[in-house]
Amino acid sequence: MHLPSLLLLWPLALLCLSGVLANQDSSKYELILYWRLRQFMINSVGVKGNTVAPDCPSPCDFKAFMQTLTVKRKGPTLKNPDGVTNQKDAKGRALHQYYPDYDKDFTVFTDKLFSDPEAAVKALDNVQFTGQFKKESQFKGAKTFGDIILSVSDAIKKSQAALVAAGRDPNGGWLKEIRNLVGIAANGRRYNRATAMTEEFEKWLKANGLEGLEVKKTDPIQRAPFVYQKIDLQATYDEGVRRGVKGIEDWEIKIKVWAVIRNAQGAALGHVRCIRGLDKIARILDAKCK
């Protein structure tokens, strides 16, 4: 592996996974990725040298790890056995269910389970993982994106340097699983963006008086484990012309370039950059870590 090249790209990926740009479709795989990254570092430099999720002191099982990184979400009020009245605390305040549900059985989260990402994701669904990460939970003192970049770079360099010094394979351990999770996380973001873009485009059409225009889509795209469709803007415009939608010709350019403009703005641009960064890391790991 050409280590400097990987270090240039890996921080970008973890930056995408730091919470602000995480999403439900990829966040479960990203959580597993963080877990494997921590294991990789501990296996390389030991517990004392580990810097991933430092607020989860050893021994840090997966339940404690998840509590350290994950934002809790307030759910519905808890009901008494009558199903009507609310459960209350000693001060008379209504009690609520919170997610993730840490009263669930976490003994199912074994090392073998994490080697099967799909099975692990189902287990995360069972405990109702919220899909949101706490800020500054990955590395101590990482208050900005720049801090995260420096911390991740240092973690990777320390881990692989320790493996090399010990005469061990710097590309072994959980690195292949990490590469797989990087790819799945990118695919989850693709799925999420395709779904969000369709909703955004339909709202845009409605806002401009074109709600009668049928949104056409591409053939199904398979990127394991996700299957999704993108908007086919050319076909959408052509369908409007075929159906004689009034004034459609005036919207030709705006319809055809809508996705380009949308993906160059705000959070959408951030997601696009995350996907590209994850893809680059996957390609490097494919080429150099076999």
Per-residue pLDDT tens for 149-171? 457 667 777 888 899 999 998 88
Average pLDDT of the residues of the chain = 82
Q: Is the pLDDT of residue 88 over 80?
A: yes
* 257-271 per-position pLDDT tens digit: 988 887 776 666 766
Mean pLDDT across 245-256: 89
Q: Is the pLDDT of residue 1 over 60?
A: no
- Residues in a beta bridge with 94: 88
User: What secondary structure, in 3-state letters, does 165-187 show?
Assistant: HCCCCCCCCCHHHHHHHHHHHHH
Amino acid 265: pLDDT = 66
- Quick count: other Cβ atoms within 10 Å of Cβ 212? 12
What local confidence, expressed as pLDDT, does residue 75 receive? 78
Most confidently modeled of 16-25, 143-152, 201-210?
201-210
Contact 157, 10 (CB under 8 A): no
Q: What is the pLDDT of residue 273?
A: 72
Question: Measured between alpha carbons, how far is 274 from 152 in angstroms, rounded to an integer?
Answer: 16
Q: Which of 19-23, 27-31, 135-139, 171-175 has the highest mean pLDDT?
A: 27-31
> Does 287 or 60 have the greater pLDDT score?
60
Give the tens place of pLDDT for each residue, 118-131: 999 999 999 999 88
pLDDT at 18 over 80: no
CA pair distance 208, 210, nearest whole angstrom? 6
d(CA 205, CA 211): 5
| pLDDT at residue 105 tops 90 | yes
pLDDT the model gives residue 174:
84
pLDDT at position 43: 92
Write the pLDDT tens digit of every residue in 26-43: 889 988 988 998 998 999
Summarize the confidence of residues 49-60 as an average pLDDT: 90
Exposure string (b/e) for 248-270, b if CB count within 10 Å is 16 or more?
beebeeebeebbeebeeeeebee
